[in-house]
Amino acid sequence: MVEQLRAAGIMATTRSVAGSTWSDNKIFGNFEAVIDWNACGSVNEPWFSMNRYTQQFLRPIDQRSPSQNNFVRWSGTGTEAYNQLVV
């Protein structure tokens, strides 16, 4: 993945961290970019995965995201329409 990002002109690096550090960084928004598997969800019931990114879970950086929902702090153009469709 890092090689692909660098090929696109993005200066990317990887680093190993302890599991608790990984979790804390993720739930408090302490990252510039993150790759993980939380958004994978279910093909049988996609609502659970889609609901994770609704505004009900949006928190400012440095505040704990609830149950790691919307830990990427997704907001902006289109989020209101998305919210209405999913919630």
3-state per-residue secondary structure call for 49-84? HHHCCCHHHCCCCCCCCHHHCCCCCCCCCCHHHHHH
Dihedral class, residue 5 (left if φ above 0, else alpha if ψ from -120 to 50, else beta): alpha
AA identity, residue 78: G
pLDDT (tens, 9 = 90+) of the chain, 87 residues, equals 899 999 999 999 888 899 999 999 999 999 888 877 776 667 777 888 889 899 999 999 999 998 879 999 999 999 999 999 998
pLDDT recorded at residue 34: 82
Per-residue model confidence (pLDDT) at position 45: 78
Whole-number pLDDT of residue 48: 84
Contact (CB, 8 A) for 57 and 21: no
How far is 73 from 60, CA to CA, in rounded Å? 7
